[in-house]
Structure 1
Amino acid sequence: MTQAFLRAGAFCAVLSLCLSTTPGSAHDNAVPKDGLRVSVTDLPPLRADGHAPIGVMGEHRHKTGEVMLSYRFMHMDMEGYRSGTNGLSPKQVAVTPNAFFGLPGQPPNIRIVPTSMTMDMHMFGAMYAPNDRITLMAMLPYVIKNMDHITFAGPAGTVRLGTFNTQSEGWGDLKISALYGLGTWGAHKLHLNFGVSLPTGSTTERATALTPTGALMNMRMPYGMQLGSGTVDLLPGITYSARSGNTGWGAQLTGVVRTGKNNGYHLGNEVALTSWGSYQPKPWISLSGRIEAKSVGDISGRDSRMVGPSPTLNPDNYGGETVTLFAGVNLVAQKGALRGHRVALEIGAPVYQNLNGLQLETDWTTTLGWQYAF
């Protein structure tokens, strides 16, 4: 696997030892008003499965006045082409028709073929509960995208001219949400999710591309390399969670509804259903498995400045259906100054991808996160 995967795994392994053996601090032996000395053993154990797997957002509420800060690092690797459920080589992509053929300077076939893409997101979050029923949440990502390409020479054929890389980097779209509790029945909880995504991320990022003639051209990057959606998006959802003894489970249905258009287009609407289960062998650690089914529509409209012989510039080559399996671990410190700090890791890989048009397929994703409530 990649260095990012190895670093994340090693970090969690070392930290798990620290969380399970952290000595008590001076605060653990403080004397309360009644004069009785309280040791760390008198504090109730915190449950690692008190939160869902780290890849699930907005899955829990807080008590009145409670604040939670969080940081997540998410990495995604994409490599290899797929049309529907069928894999394609770069040469096969290069002999398919160019959707823009007939416009000035456009060749009949695709000439610029992305071969791989990575996306790193640093997500900074905060939650606050004005009362026991409502929890407010905000999330702002810093996004880094890299894409490698092959340029094929001339208007047609499979002769490689060269390769190039493009990168976009900056703040993404700000998401603000409210979680509204519908009820708690013993260990079973249900709440509504509703939020908005504000278009704070750029949709005008540019890069230099190698054209089929050998010239270098500075142009607007394709839709998938932009940092934001460009539109105000609605974020509805509903979340259920429960636990019994050392096991926990839950499910969440979420959507993304695009409103309006920006630069002549809007991204496709999304709907996702995820379900998870967890087992907690000790209060400080829980192990989880999760499945997610997701459907994303293609792009509606077109940015007139995104024209070229590449599949990523065609709005029809976006969206599709995927099913992904995840495995994760949640850790929570029980003692000392680290008590209440949570660290979690989740790794996922798709088991089914049915993609619209010609697209890079996802190989794997990982999310590493920290959370602390006070």
Structure 2
Amino acid sequence: MKSSNLLVGALALTASLVPFAAHAHSINADDHAPIGVMGDHAHKKGEIMLSARYMHMGMAGNQIGTDDVTPETITTTVPNRFAGMPMQPPTLRVVPEAMRAEMVMIGAMYAPVDAFTLAIGATYVTKETDALTFQGGMGTAELGRFQSSVEGFGDMKAMAIIPLLPLPDKTADRRDELYLKAGFNVPTGSRTKTDEVLTPMGTTMTMRMAYGMQLGTGTWDFEPALTYKARRGKIGYGVQGSASLKLGDNTQGYSFGDIYESTAWVSYRPAQWVSLSARAKARTMGSIDGMDPAIMGPTQGANPDLYGGERVDLLAGVNFVGTHGALAGHRLGIELGKPVYQDLNGPQLASDWSLMIGWQKAW
């Protein structure tokens, strides 16, 4: 996966926004929350906004709870859920060592009335996993490493954002905003992706990928959120609570765990065209309920119990906005995140870092 062209384009757009900072219009870089916060604003009647986001997430190393564990520990001590079935060893023999996911998200917002704004989003997903296979049914002799990958369209999002306070005067340096989001996950992503896997017996087999390597959840999910944000001169701040609640199982017979998130941020605007932000995010996710009978093997990703957990991330961001000329109203946001605490239903790959770059433009 190559993200260099996207990064170069983002930097070029950043540089192009700077010359338009000399003229003040009713646009500020901190009118929107950090780019990783969704559902943070609404629009006035007749307004349209288009957006594009690129996100990279990296995972490396394994944890059980809060403790790091080596592949050798996993393969000699963690039971294989499918032990006793034909060709299934007693412990795990295929251990993931790293994973990368990239997402390109395209969205549109439209306000038919001041009372609510409608939004829809689609995602294209690419995932890669590096795994280590141990030889035979026991011991720590390494057989070899291999890489699995999948790509395609993921689930879609549809939502309504309702302002609970009057929409703000964009020229005001003191303002408060409160929004309720009622959203749904639309199960358009595949849950049956396959790729080749190196087995402990030294053969290569085409198998259905683990739950975390699939492109969609397969379930309709209710995704509410409540967001408060404020500005006091050059200082902005906000909080959001959100959830993703699964509404039944998918056609493969399982559902991912419910997700609950909370986030808070503060921002500083040194100039009209740029603001800097710091954000903390806490997330808890349940394990998978049910099971896909086609996902099987001596690897942790095939066990529905080894998903979910708790995580706290710290993120640093910057927002740019063009304030005059051809780029007036074009926004560019960048946010970089790093986990500071993880308690995982493991063994499970631990999150390493994340990057989001996004463009927005309203008419």
TM-score (norm 2): 0.94
Q: Kindly indicate whether residue 344 of structure 2 is the aligned counterpart of residue 360 of structure 1.
A: no
Counterpart amino acid of residue 153 in structure 1? Q
CA change 1:287–1:7 in 2 (3 A) is same
Count of aligned positions = 355
Counterpart in the other structure of 2:236: 248
Residue from 266, 269, 274 that aligns with 2:258: 269
**Unaligned regions of 5+ residues in structure 2, if any?**
169-173
**Cα pair 2:288 2:305 within 8 Å, conserved:** yes
Q: CA deviation at 1:45?
A: 4.2
**Unaligned regions of 5+ residues in structure 1, if any?**
24-39
Residue from 250, 267, 291 that aligns with 1:302: 291
Counterpart in the other structure of 2:91: 109
Q: CA deviation at 1:4?
A: 4.7
Counterpart amino acid of residue 204 in structure 1? T
Deviates more, 1:44-53 or 1:308-317: 44-53
Q: Secondary structure at the match of 1:317?
A: coil
- Which of the pair has more CA radius of gyration? 1
Counterpart in the other structure of 1:89: 70
Q: Distance in 1 between matches of 2:46 and 2:85?
A: 59
Deviates more, 1:343-352 or 1:91-100: 91-100
**Cα pair 1:45 1:283 within 8 Å, conserved:** no
Residue from 201, 212, 220 that aligns with 2:189: 201
Counterpart in the other structure of 2:143: 161
Please list every run of at least 4 consecutive aligned residues from structure 1 whose deviation after the TM superposition is greater than 2 angstroms: 2-8, 10-17
Counterpart in the other structure of 1:19: 17
Counterpart amino acid of residue 249 in structure 2? K
Q: CA deviation at 1:44?
A: 2.1
**Cα pair 2:25 2:324 within 8 Å, conserved:** no
Counterpart in the other structure of 1:69: 50
Counterpart amino acid of residue 164 in structure 2? L
TM-score (norm 1): 0.91
Percentage of matched positions with identical amino acids: 46
Q: Distance in 2 between matches of 1:148 and 1:367?
A: 23
CA change 1:112–1:256 in 2 (3 A) is same
Residue from 137, 141, 146 that aligns with 2:123: 141
Residue from 143, 146, 153 that aligns with 1:171: 153
Q: Secondary structure at the match of 2:38?
A: coil
Q: Secondary structure at the match of 2:15?
A: helix
Q: Distance in 1 between matches of 2:85 and 2:349?
A: 25
Q: Kindly indicate whether residue 110 of structure 2 is the aligned counterpart of residue 119 of structure 1.
A: no
Counterpart amino acid of residue 73 in structure 2? Q
Q: Distance in 2 between matches of 1:72 and 1:16?
A: 15
**Cα pair 2:198 2:205 within 8 Å, conserved:** yes
Residue from 212, 223, 226 that aligns with 2:214: 226
Q: Secondary structure at the match of 1:316?
A: coil
Q: Distance in 1 between matches of 2:247 and 2:25?
A: 46
Q: CA deviation at 1:15?
A: 3.4
Q: Kindly indicate whether residue 81 of structure 2 is the aligned counterpart of residue 132 of structure 1.
A: no
CA change 1:132–1:360 in 2 (3 A) is same
Counterpart in the other structure of 1:27: none
Q: CA deviation at 1:105?
A: 1.6
**Cα pair 2:239 2:264 within 8 Å, conserved:** yes
Counterpart in the other structure of 1:32: none
Counterpart in the other structure of 2:223: 235
Q: Secondary structure at the match of 2:326?
A: helix
Q: Deviation per CA, 1:233-287, whole angstroms, max 9, x where unpaired?
A: 1111111111010011111111000011121110000000001110000000000
Q: Distance in 2 between matches of 1:314 and 1:21?
A: 54
Q: Deviation per CA, 1:321-345, whole angstroms, max 9, x where unpaired?
A: 0000000000001121111100110
**Cα pair 1:5 1:366 within 8 Å, conserved:** no
Q: Kindly indicate whether residue 41 of structure 2 is the aligned counterpart of residue 60 of structure 1.
A: yes
Q: Secondary structure at the match of 1:298?
A: coil
Q: CA deviation at 1:180?
A: 0.9
Counterpart in the other structure of 2:171: none
**Cα pair 2:93 2:134 within 8 Å, conserved:** yes
CA change 1:299–1:350 in 2 (3 A) is same
Residue from 303, 322, 330 that aligns with 1:341: 330
Two-structure CA RMSD over aligned residues (Å): 1.8
Counterpart in the other structure of 2:59: 78
Q: Distance in 2 between matches of 1:369 and 1:231?
A: 27
